[in-house]
Structure 1
Amino acid sequence: MGSLSVALGFAVLPQRAVAADPARIGILIPGSKSDKGWMESGYDGLVAAQKQHGDAIKVQMIENINYADMEQALTQLASKNGLVIGVGGQTQAAVYKIAKRFPKVKFSIVGGNAGESAPNVAGYDVKQAEIAYVAGAAAAMLSKTGAVSYVGGMELPSIVNAGKEFGMGAKSINPNIKFFENYTGDFDNVAKAKEATLAAIAQGADVHYHILNLGLRGLEQAAKEKSTHIIGSYANYCGSDPLYVAYSITGVGYQVRYALDQFVGGSWAAGYKPFGLAMGPEASDMIICGATPEMKAKLDAIKADILAGKIKVLEG
């Protein structure tokens, strides 16, 4: 018997052939999807997109890989999917390299920077430096000692620029504030993040900001031991942990959903796209847990000045 059945002279395809094939999505989350940071935010965006699209999409995810294995992971995803999403700026170099080998596959980089371009690559800039400035202002408002700190992972331009803008934002509130900036060279190194935070605490810092993945565990350990506080990143979890006094929203999950929605809807486009405050509170925002009306008004004014160009911030 063939795969066609005949009724009243008409060929009727089996139901499985009539249904549209699901859009195939590959996603590389190089860190842990439960890091309470960038990677978890990206994973949460994926979960939300899966709930929204249901059987219309089929997702293949690779998580928690070494930097040296990134090209191999992207090759595996590109060979089986129509869209491949790299979560994190650390995927950018490998994405552009692999994209040349798979010109018919679309690639989106969550945390991508301007500069490079390819006809099948989209780079979504979360504008971390922009919201880091606002986070610095929040930290200065919350600090009781007049000293704040920042710990970044790899010294990528966007991570360094965010650190510098955090310091500038803090100084916009208190010109005399002490600011301590450190980089561990690894987003996931718990011991180095703890060491850097303890060093800042020893010099008076009582509010800490970060761009880390699993390394955040070290920052948390230091803050808990010394009774200091953290401004979290990526999502608003106010009330879930007394260590955290505020959260910056950097829309990693929002961008994952954006890439997937654009691909499924047929409107995906290559090129650099900035997100940040201009894309609304899901993409970028700053929340002080239990903020006073004065604090909220000041943060709103700073965000408005950034959007209006009155406050200039670095790229990243």
Structure 2
Amino acid sequence: MKPTFSVASSSRRGFALGGIAFALMLSAGTLAPLAQAADPLAVGILIPGSKSDKGWMESGYDGLVAAQKAHGDKIKVQMIENINYADMEQALTNLASKNKLVIGVGGQTQAAVMKVAKRFPNTRFSIVGGNKAEDMPNVAGYDVKQAEIAFVAGAAAAMLSKNGAVSYVGGMEIPSIVNAGKEFGNGAKYVNPKIKYFENYTGDFDNVAKAKEATLAAIAQGADVHYHILNLGLRGMEQAAKEKGTKVVGSYTDRCGTDALYPAYSITGVGYQVQYAIDEAVKGSWKAGYKPFGLAMGPKASDMVVCGASPEVTKKLEEIKKDILGGKIKVLEG
């Protein structure tokens, strides 16, 4: 069954609930204690950025679509996308008042989720990209462990670099994003101790101009392979890389063969976690609390793909992943 879209995206200049229908009607399962067996499970999902950003938000949206295909008319979903950070609490309040499961896509939703969840004790909340926080009986935090796969991405970038210089651009300077940046640099140095590494933050996941400026600055210093944790800001990195003939290691989803600009992709399972939250609610096995994903949860949750990789590159990356899982290589949280 194909999802029918009836969505009015909010403006980033402000979020007004009154009279505006933010609805994406899909279908999927029943959270046993909270819905009658014959009723669809009401799911609300907040995607703060654009669902077509080629990054985190699009990956989350893909997971939502996958859940719809899996569960059909057993769920009904209301989606709010593309809002200001300051408006998240209001958006989540709107979702919590109408749904039994609410999903916040991105660690930037965590603070608002924790506030709103206290006012809606009978609503379940799942945070995709959540970190360890206050234990609440109705909140689940799913940690993608970006720092883990960022280390592997750094190793891949170092092997792909011809200049011996790589760069990273993050959005908001919050712990999980900063830790991922540090581990990307550590991964690059792990395979090439002499590599040059440039790290920058724009303060905004969606600012195209700042992301381009940061990437151009790194290119001017020799960086020829770039990594990111950005949403729409990725377009700025792409513009800089295309103009200067450098490459980008993509994030979140394997899209090998679709764009020559990208020689590799890290997989962080954002969509996998969205689908996981819905699947668990449908089965009646949803649980509150912190849950780490990352490499330990398998390739759908976390992986590194170098397009057309040589056996030597593949072997090296597999060794690094194994050493992270075994504790030989220790990485930061986040």
TM-score (norm 2): 0.89
SS at structure 1 position matched to 2:73 = helix
2:62 paired residue number:
44
Which residue is 1:62 aligned to?
80
* Equivalence for 1:107: 125
Q: 2:244 aligns with which of 213, 226, 233?
A: 226
Report the identity percentage: 82
Corresponding residue of 2:162:
144
Secondary structure, counterpart of 1:26 in structure 2: strand
Query: In the TM superposition, what is the alpha-carbon distance from 1:192 to its structure 2 partner?
Result: 0.2
Provide the residue aligned with 1:4 in structure 2. none
- What is residue 7 of structure 1 aligned with on the other side? none
Deviation at 1:117, TM superposition (A): 1.9
Structure 1 stretches of 4+ moved >3 Å: none
The equivalences for 1:25-36 within 5 A come to 25-36=43-54
Deviations 1:23-78 (A, max 9, x none): 11000000000000000000000000001100000000000011111011000000
Distance 2:149 2:169 in 1: 15
Q: Secondary structure at the match of 1:185?
A: coil
The 5-angstrom pairing of residues 120-135 of structure 1 reads: 120-135=138-153
Mapping of 1:181-200 within 5 angstroms? Answer: 181-200=199-218
Residues of 2 paired with 1:227 and 1:117: CA distance?
A: 47
Q: Which runs of 5+ in 2 are unaligned?
A: 1-35
1:253 is aligned to 271
* Structure 1 residue 93 corresponds to structure 2 residue 95: no
**Structure 2 CA distance for aligned equivalents of residues 231 and 117 of structure 1:** 35
SS of 2:76's equivalent in the other structure is strand
Question: Partner of 2:258: helix, strand, or coil?
Answer: coil
For residues 66 and 134 of structure 2, what CA distance do their matches in structure 1 show?
A: 30
| RMSD of aligned Cα (Å) | 0.8
Count of paired positions: 299
Q: Quick one: which amino acid aligns to residue 33 of structure 1?
A: K
| Residue deviations 1:209-252 (CA, integer Å, cap 9, x gap) | 00000000000000000000000000000010010010000000
Greater C-alpha radius of gyration? 1
Distance in structure 1 (CA, Å) of the matches to 2:69 and 2:311: 36
Runs of 5+ in structure 1 lacking a partner? Answer: 1-17
**Partner AA of 1:294 in structure 2:** E
Q: Which residue matches 2:10?
A: none
C-alpha distance in 1, partners of 2:154/2:45? 32
Amino acid at match of 2:333: E
User: What is the match of residue 238 of structure 1?
Assistant: 256
Tell me, in whole angstroms, the C-alpha distance in 1 between the residues paired with 2:59 and 2:70. Answer: 17
Q: Residues 104-134 of structure 1: CA distance to partner in whole angstroms, max 9, x if unpaired? A: 0000000000132211000000000000000
